[in-house]
Structure 1
Amino acid sequence: MRFKSSNLAQQSVELPGTRSAGATGVFRHVSHTAELVEFLPGHPELKSLYDIWQNSVKEFGPRDFLGHRPFNTVAQSYGGYTWQTYAQIDKRVNAFGSGLMYLNEKVLGNAQLNRWSLGIWSVNRPEWFLSEMSCNLYNNVSVPLYDTLGPDAVEYIINHAETPIVVASANHIASLLENAEKLPTLKAIISMDSLQDTVPVPGHTSAAKVLRAWGAQKGIRVFDFAEIENLGVEFPRKHIRPQADEVCSICYTSGTTGVPKGALLTHKAIVAALGSNAIDVGTESEDVVISFLPLAHIMGRTIDASAMASGAKLGYFRGDILLLLEDVGELRPTFFPAVPRLLNRIYAKLVASTIEAPGLVGALARRGVATKLANLAAGKGVTHPLWDRLLFNKVKQALGGRVQVILTGSAPIAKEVLSFLRIAFCCTVLEGYGSTEGIANATLTVAEEYIPGHIGCPRSSTEIKLVDVPEMNYFSTDKPYPRGEIQIRSVAMFSGYYKDEKNTKEALSEDGWLATGDIGFVDERGCFTIVDRKKNIFKLAQGEYIAPEKIENVLQARCNLIQQIYVHGESLQSTLVSIVVPEPETFAPFVSAIVGKTITMTDLAGLEAAGQDPRVRAAVLKELEKAGKAGALRGFEFVKRVYLTMDAFSVENNMMTPTFKVRRPQVKEAYTAQIQAMYEDINSAAIPAKL
């Protein structure tokens, strides 16, 4: 991994003469005050993803690039990682891209020869990259579909993007065919999995024949990946080089309310983001990156694209997040991008096996952790000659033993978790902040940072300002630090929402500023900290503003009993209540100690019943109170009642978006009776008994 040296004391600066009424001046990274990064370092000639891929093939052709773990159908197990080189992948991209062009024109008879959209629907795997890069070689537009999307969202996106062809893993083909009547633009489906029968069974109709016949009945052609590659080999096409300002992808955001919005991402925007990545957290050709963050989400895509641009190896997980650490142990990555939800689980397991362990092991671990945390807080780094040899070199093996950098984003992470991970894995842990609209490229902590609790400084391609939010009493003139809504502007920025001028104008100002909805402050070092949320706010009866997402993030990061949480308040009530889905692994021993009998983590019915026990609810409420105090919540931000359920919020029950954000109106509706009962309990307790 490659990092530029940083000045911890001054990470960003306010540009002179840029202040305006109701806003701070414009902040830029201290090393990029004169101009923002737009290209890969030293390569201003690479203006598109097409250009970057051609350069990578030329420079790294014989090196391993994409790896996956093949499934042995005889042994019924996964093997080790097998690899394809940059040159081998390039040959396949050319073949698949040519095959797609032939299919679109000659087989489907579409008059539009390029600039059409290709849907991609699967978990991370080599075929995902091949499909996306084929769009870049022939100037088409990729339209990622979240692997967890329900049929309604898939229907909307395919129709909205007017997508004629979808490349999908086999498990999604039936869903597409079932809804064919609602997908008038869809003309062909390409299975990432083989539809060829290796051993035909006499007298039996194969699943492949059934799918093809079903598709023919619906007016949709069904192929597999190899067939399209073979078409491309037989009928090769010349590349159609895209221009920098042309759209390469429509990335649909999975909003918590309303229909998805299609963010238009241009080649130059993504190239600017990759340039920023190369400077701020650069992978190199010797690095190994694990790919498991959803590629339909911009964070996962830019990480994978950065690995490609630098000649690194990119290993895909098997598709099961519960088995991820097994894949990590096999791959032994040097770069581990993650999200707080996963890191919280890793943290909980490490704490249980170290500082909470009984006997001598626990005693030594507590001393070692305390020593290393003290050194970290003093700016002495993340390694220690004695305690690493005795303890932490073994802990590092949980992530394969070679991780140099952990990157976290998409949601806040608790200070104590961040610091513990730094000293436990003896590596750099970076926290980033961004959005689809800003190509996940707003802020990042620097490599040498040891102070937790903030989101770092502007990326090298981005500038930031804070704008007053009077209704919430946040002002750019606040002391000791300016506060306000975080707004960002960058070359690495979407160009608007597809077919949606209204939302585009609401999101982007005329001079290119994106309103994030997050409230933050900037300190004397030029580091930004998020303190509140402008959207989804409401007033309690006493007039206090509440940002429930902020409270949920605080509690979830600091209470390992929580898998999911929804915090609720009303303008006619003065307190908050919550719906909590416990984490079975930690909740099971917790409730077993309270109810006096063993309940295992797999006994969901037993955990559900225990969750209704008043003693358990009271104990969980105490844990939430501890977490709230640790997260510096204000008194009115503490939840006063909790309802426990093992029925997780999910995409399937419409209570979560595909990016794991709670759909607030849907959860409220589903738990109306429980919310009402909690408020009745609070209000009855507040009524004094008659003398």
Structure 2
Amino acid sequence: MSAPQQFTVNVPGAVQKDGETLPRRHFKFADALVSHPDDVTTMWDVFCHGNKIAGDRDFLGVRPILNGVAQPYEWQSHNAVKRRIENYAKGLQKLGLGRQESLGVYGVNRPEWTMTEQACYRKAFIIVALYDTLGEEAIEYIVNQTEMKYIVATSDKVKRLIGLKNILPTIKYIIVMDDYEIASDREAAKAAGIELQTFTEVEKLGEDAAEENDLPSPQDIATICYTSGTTGAPKGAVITQAQSVAVIYSIVAVGDANTFAKVDYTDCYISYLPLAHVFERAAQGLFVYTGGALGYYQGDTAKLLDDIVELKPTVFCSVPRLFNRIYDRVLSGVKSKGGVAAALFFMAYEAKKANLKSTTKHWLWDRLVFGTIRQRLGGRIRFILSGSAPVSPDVMDFMRICFSADVYEGYGQTENFCGSCLTVSKDNTTGVVGIPFPCSEIKLVDVPDMEYTSKDQPFPRGEICIRGNSVMREYYKNPEKTAETLDEDGWLHTGDIGLFDECGRLAIIDRLKNIFKLSQGEYIAPEKIEGVYQKHELIAQAFVYGDSLQSTLVGIIHPDKDELLKWAKAKPEYSDKSFEELCGDAAVNKDVLSAMGAFGKQNGLKGFEQVKKIYLTADEFTVDNDLLTPTFKLKREVAKKKFASEIEAMYAGRSFN
């Protein structure tokens, strides 16, 4: 048998150190790490590159709301947006915002967010995102640490910001993205010592201002991107213009090398993932560079699929939470139809699955069976990219089969502007996150306490460490945390545990921090267990918890409302109950736990990995109630505190009814 293809290679000339693997690079970019093209060294160069390609083509699109109803997308051209950005940037400068001073942005994705970002790149301002749903404590921390004087915000945030002036003493200006009846807010702001301007007023202010040739340099700070964090105060990753460019150009480079999808000016992207996070910033940066079109969602994730059907994007980037929901809904719908329709679906599904190693398409099944499913994402999707957290292999296969599209998985962190790994074109292997970005190299370092070592067989295992042109400069004003994360040789210690497989691909198998030990000594990786349970049609969200003094796991479960009501309707003893009543019913709890146990066993969970008791909550885990980060990761410490009494009751054997 021939040796398997190697997608990564050892760094030429590298010397192996005890307790770690040799660093590895992308097999097509082995000799040197990618940084930038000759004529594109800053993020403003990235914008200008796309503008030359796109010109008067559509660039930024929104759906106007008329009498509460979303209308078809309306577009601004690339040239028109460029003029607006330049005027707006000059207007900000005229208001007194100086080079390398921070500018906050507070609101959901919309054209003004992107234009603010580009204006910052143009004038070397430092853009700092304030997550749309951050609590006052985190906002206070970020604003005061960066000595922020200017915040660009949506109108619904203005009163809140004015009310926080006593704890945000540095704030001098609020620029409102909307044009609205601003008079009353302007008076309140003035009384608090804040000047209120609208976005268009700042644009007009800059129209007549002379353009100064104060272009950014590659080493200027582009953004301080604060980690949403599941515990503790947020940390501000300092990312330079050059570091941002390295990631975007790397995505272009792997497209040109045919190891990733190629994006060009004909592509269209739906922008809904929070721009406060680097995943969406890097994705948008790719479309800015290539001159593609960006269509924004309405600002309500409940209406996202409607926006997608209207926009008909060619590229869709999302997170496992949404993919899991689509997976659950489609399979549930198929099962409920039953009969010939279900039999045909599963026959087509298995036929495509058997050939996934070579293709995601089938001349008959794509039209006969999967066409209507494909329309749920607009019908034009060329490829899908998942990031933020690992996706289960079943869901990855499902997306490839049902949407007849290439599906990639990305891996990255705030601390390297998302520039860690991408899966490889036409390699539909599940359970891996791919190979390094051309701007990065990766090694694994032993974690003896968890028994992961570089000498493990059949594959080396250890903490994933990344070095390269996208790794942050530092945590802002936080040398202690910087030293914990960046070592003296420039390696970023991710806290993720990985292995290199037989083809040199990286797989994430554990997390250094999100792991705990039960009283009998068994290590538990809760995310893995939650991922299994959340594939069950009755389960929308799961929080698995284990006390180190206990020998079993418990779970906080938010059921899928539609599926639980459908399930209950078929059972006379439950059929007249509401969703809230079902969640509080001890018999329902017992039935759901039994279904979870059977499902967990079918999906390979060991006995000690199964939850033994659950609490059903009718309340969804959301960003608004602080149980999820803005990138939809579970805040474990917050969840632990919120459900402390329920966890205690489960371990004590007390009833909730």
**Shared fold by TM > 0.5?**
yes
Give the residue type in structure 1 aligned to 2:39: E
Q: Distance in 2 between matches of 1:541 and 1:444?
A: 38
The count of aligned residue pairs is: 646
Q: 1:462, CA displacement in angstroms? A: 1.4
Q: Is the 8 A contact 2:495 2:513 kept in 1?
A: yes
Q: 1:118, CA displacement in angstroms? A: 0.8
Deviations 1:658-688 (A, max 9, x none): 33333323322232222122122399xxxxx
Q: Distance in 1 between matches of 2:236 and 2:60?
A: 28
Q: 1:594, CA displacement in angstroms? A: 4.5
Task: Give the corresponding residue for 2:70.
Answer: 78
Q: Distance in 2 between matches of 1:325 and 1:123?
A: 17
User: Measured at CA, do residues 623 and 521 of structure 1 come closer, stay the same or move farther in structure 2, by a change above 3 Å?
Assistant: farther
Task: Give the corresponding residue for 1:271.
Answer: 245
Deviations 1:54-110 (A, max 9, x none): 2222332222111111122xx4422111111111001000111111111126xxxxx
Q: 1:414, CA displacement in angstroms? A: 1.5
Q: 1:24, CA displacement in angstroms? A: 0.8
Q: Is the 8 A contact 1:347 1:417 kept in 2?
A: yes
Deviations 1:406-425 (A, max 9, x none): 10011121111111110111
Task: Give the corresponding residue for 2:82.
Answer: 90
Give the residue type in structure 1 aligned to 2:22: G
User: Measured at CA, do residues 233 and 79 of structure 1 come closer, stay the same or move farther in structure 2, by a change above 3 Å?
Assistant: same
Q: Distance in 2 between matches of 1:356 and 1:21?
A: 56
- From 54, 65, 68, give the equivalent of 2:48: 54
Task: Give the corresponding residue for 1:212.
Answer: 186
**2:141 partner SS:** helix
Q: Is the 8 A contact 2:385 2:410 kept in 1?
A: yes
Task: Give the corresponding residue for 2:292.
Answer: 312
Give the residue type in structure 2 aligned to 1:45: D
- From 34, 39, 44, give the equivalent of 2:38: 44
* Correspondence 1:625 to 2:597: yes
Q: 1:511, CA displacement in angstroms? A: 0.8
Task: Give the corresponding residue for 2:257.
Answer: none
Task: Give the corresponding residue for 1:686.
Answer: none
- From 95, 100, 103, give the equivalent of 1:115: 100
Q: Distance in 2 between matches of 1:504 and 1:56?
A: 34
Q: Distance in 1 between matches of 2:118 and 2:441?
A: 30
Deviations 1:179-208 (A, max 9, x none): 111111100111111035xxxxxxxxxxx2
Q: Is the 8 A contact 1:582 1:645 kept in 2?
A: yes
Task: Give the corresponding residue for 1:3.
Answer: none
Q: Distance in 2 between matches of 1:652 and 1:289?
A: 26
Give the residue type in structure 1 aligned to 2:612: K
Task: Give the corresponding residue for 2:384.
Answer: 406
For 1:101-112, what aligned pairs fall within 5 Å after superposition?
101-104=93-96
* Correspondence 1:572 to 2:549: yes
Q: Which moved more, 1:260-269 or 1:606-615?
A: 606-615
Q: Distance in 1 between matches of 2:459 and 2:607?
A: 23
For 1:538-687, what aligned pairs fall within 5 Å after superposition?
538-556=516-534, 558-594=535-571, 596-598=573-575, 606-681=578-653
Q: 1:236, CA displacement in angstroms? A: 3.8
For 1:154-193, what aligned pairs fall within 5 Å after superposition?
154-193=139-178
Give the residue type in structure 2 aligned to 1:326: D
**1:383 partner SS:** coil
* Correspondence 1:233 to 2:182: no
Task: Give the corresponding residue for 1:15.
Answer: 11
Q: 1:355, CA displacement in angstroms? A: 5.4
Q: 1:32, CA displacement in angstroms? A: 1.1
User: Measured at CA, do residues 653 and 361 of structure 1 come closer, stay the same or move farther in structure 2, by a change above 3 Å?
Assistant: closer
Q: Is the 8 A contact 1:565 1:580 kept in 2?
A: yes
Deviations 1:458-504 (A, max 9, x none): 12221111111111111110111111111111201111100000000
User: Measured at CA, do residues 90 and 239 of structure 1 come closer, stay the same or move farther in structure 2, by a change above 3 Å?
Assistant: farther
User: Measured at CA, do residues 184 and 592 of structure 1 come closer, stay the same or move farther in structure 2, by a change above 3 Å?
Assistant: same
Q: Distance in 2 between matches of 1:52 and 1:642?
A: 50
User: Measured at CA, do residues 8 and 439 of structure 1 come closer, stay the same or move farther in structure 2, by a change above 3 Å?
Assistant: farther
Q: Which moved more, 1:343-352 or 1:232-241?
A: 232-241
**1:293 partner SS:** coil
Give the residue type in structure 2 aligned to 1:88: A
Give the residue type in structure 2 aligned to 1:27: R
Task: Give the corresponding residue for 1:201.
Answer: none
Q: Which moved more, 1:654-663 or 1:227-236?
A: 654-663
Q: Which moved more, 1:385-394 or 1:135-144?
A: 385-394
- From 361, 374, 377, give the equivalent of 1:383: 361
Deviations 1:377-402 (A, max 9, x none): xx231111221221222321111111
Q: Distance in 2 between matches of 1:595 and 1:184?
A: 61
For 1:420-431, what aligned pairs fall within 5 Å after superposition?
420-431=398-409
**1:364 partner SS:** helix
Q: Distance in 2 between matches of 1:653 and 1:274?
A: 33
Q: Is the 8 A contact 2:314 2:380 kept in 1?
A: yes
Q: Is the 8 A contact 2:64 2:74 kept in 1?
A: yes
User: Measured at CA, do residues 233 and 71 of structure 1 come closer, stay the same or move farther in structure 2, by a change above 3 Å?
Assistant: same
Q: 1:537, CA displacement in angstroms? A: 2.5
Task: Give the corresponding residue for 1:205.
Answer: none
TM-score, length basis structure 2? 0.95
User: Measured at CA, do residues 578 and 294 of structure 1 come closer, stay the same or move farther in structure 2, by a change above 3 Å?
Assistant: same
Q: Distance in 1 between matches of 2:282 and 2:362?
A: 33
**1:466 partner SS:** strand
Q: Which moved more, 1:209-218 or 1:650-659?
A: 650-659
User: Measured at CA, do residues 34 and 172 of structure 1 come closer, stay the same or move farther in structure 2, by a change above 3 Å?
Assistant: same
Task: Give the corresponding residue for 2:258.
Answer: none
User: Measured at CA, do residues 399 and 666 of structure 1 come closer, stay the same or move farther in structure 2, by a change above 3 Å?
Assistant: closer
- Unaligned residue ranges in structure 2 (runs of 5+): 255-260
* Correspondence 1:530 to 2:508: yes
Deviations 1:266-324 (A, max 9, x none): 01111000011112343101111111111000000110111010011111111111111
Q: Is the 8 A contact 2:574 2:582 kept in 1?
A: no
Q: Distance in 1 between matches of 2:192 and 2:62?
A: 34
User: Measured at CA, do residues 359 and 546 of structure 1 come closer, stay the same or move farther in structure 2, by a change above 3 Å?
Assistant: closer
Q: Is the 8 A contact 1:189 1:223 kept in 2?
A: yes
* Correspondence 1:242 to 2:242: no
Deviations 1:558-606 (A, max 9, x none): 2233333221112221111111122223222234435634468xxxxx3
Q: Is the 8 A contact 2:269 2:295 kept in 1?
A: yes
TM-score, length basis structure 1? 0.90
**1:180 partner SS:** coil
Q: Is the 8 A contact 1:254 1:658 kept in 2?
A: yes
- From 323, 343, 348, give the equivalent of 1:343: 323
Q: 1:519, CA displacement in angstroms? A: 1.1
Deviations 1:508-530 (A, max 9, x none): 11111111111111111011111
Q: CA RMSD in A?
A: 2.0
For 1:473-492, what aligned pairs fall within 5 Å after superposition?
473-492=451-470
* Correspondence 1:34 to 2:31: yes
Deviations 1:196-237 (A, max 9, x none): 5xxxxxxxxxxx221011001100011111111111113243
Q: Is the 8 A contact 1:253 1:436 kept in 2?
A: yes
Q: Distance in 2 between matches of 1:23 and 1:623?
A: 42
Q: Is the 8 A contact 1:8 1:448 kept in 2?
A: no
- Unaligned residue ranges in structure 1 (runs of 5+): 1-6, 106-112, 197-207, 601-605, 684-691
**2:645 partner SS:** helix
Give the residue type in structure 2 aligned to 1:388: D
Q: Which runs of 4+ in 1 moved over 6 A?
A: none
